[in-house]
Amino acid sequence: MNRLERRILTALAMAATLLITACDWDSGSQENFNTSGGSANVNVSGFYQGVQGAPVVARTSNGAIANLVIQQSGNRVMVTDSRGSTYEGTLGAPNVLASNSTVPAGATVASYQIGFSGKDEVAAREIEFTGVLTIVSVTNIFADTDTRSVSTETTVNVNSEFPPLAPDTGTGTTTNTTTETGSTSETTSEFALEENNNQLQLRGTWIEIGGTTSSVRGIGPAAQGNVVTVN
């Protein structure tokens, strides 16, 4: 497989992963949620096992992979599979989803694109993984909120006619600039992620270069940290 074919395959895998994540995994509702300005200070390290006893990587050229261990440091991740092979990659910026003050049980709190690569020593193949890590609430998560008034300034251009300067110059317009001040309200909501109120879910596509392709579906621990939204 040449470099171009490899890039095309990876792009197709990412597109398939993003399509999968648009579907509901859990039975919980995602209603009343919308994307807002937000940030997340979260660690996703932990042990990821397959769903309902299934392996986390359904198949490789030499058997399935039972589980993965992810270690996060900043936006870098190191991944070790159940057979001892290790991989390195990156975690993307969070896509934060939140209401003003409550995340209902079963809803997505935030999601991250994740990718890593390395050699599966058992299958003897180089692999590339592209997927999504999702933080899902398992109980209602209530935010600490703070609403404050924020000053605003708006520049307004006003066009006005002026009289002729001379008999042959005619009339024209001039632009006067004014600044209007006001205020608006801004609500900051901070959601604390703890051991008993959320769970990490991993899914994506496991690509062997020159070998097989497999789906990945795993359940991890609770994310630790906090998510902040601004509305």
Contact criterion met (CB below 8 Å) for 39 and 100: no
Q: Does 74 lie in the same domain as 9?
A: yes
My answer on whether 96 and 158 are in the same domain is no
Question: What is the spatial distance between Cα 47 and Cα 221, in angstroms, rounded to a whole number?
Answer: 7
Question: What tokens does 153 get?
Answer: 């300034």
| 229 within some domain | no
131 and 49 co-located in one domain: yes
Q: Which amino acid is at 92?
A: G
Contact 62, 85 (CB under 8 A): no
Q: Identify which has the larger pLDDT, 3 or 133.
A: 133
pTM above 0.95, yes or no: no
Q: What residue numbers bound the domain in which 176 lies?
A: 147-185
124: left (phi over 0), alpha (psi -120 to 50) or beta: left
**Residue percentage of the chain with pLDDT more than 90:** 59
Q: Are residues 133 and 151 in the same domain?
A: no
Percent of the chain topping pLDDT 70: 71
Same domain (yes/no): 104, 203: yes
85 φ/ψ angles, rounded to the nearest 5 degrees: -80, 150
Whether 231 is in a domain gets the answer no
Per the domain annotation, does 176 fall within a domain? yes
What are the beta bridge partners of residue 23?
A: none
The count of domains in the chain is 2
The string of pLDDT tens digits covering residues 88-105 is 999 999 999 866 689 999
What pLDDT, in 10s, does the model give residues 16-67? Answer: 443 333 333 332 322 223 334 678 899 999 999 999 999 999 999 999 999 9
Shared-domain flag, residues 83 and 159: no
Please indicate whether residue 153 or residue 10 has the higher confidence score (pLDDT): 153
Check pLDDT > 80 for residue 143: yes
List, as own/partner pairs, every contact residues 68-77 make where C-beta atoms lie below 8 angstroms and the sequence separation is at least 24, other chains included.
68/202, 68/218, 70/44, 70/45, 70/46, 70/202, 70/220, 71/45, 72/43, 72/44, 72/45, 77/44, 77/114, 77/116
Are 130 and 215 in the same domain? yes
211 in any annotated domain: yes
Question: Is the residue at 27 inside a domain?
Answer: yes
Q: Is residue 101 part of a domain?
A: yes
Same domain, 175 and 98: no
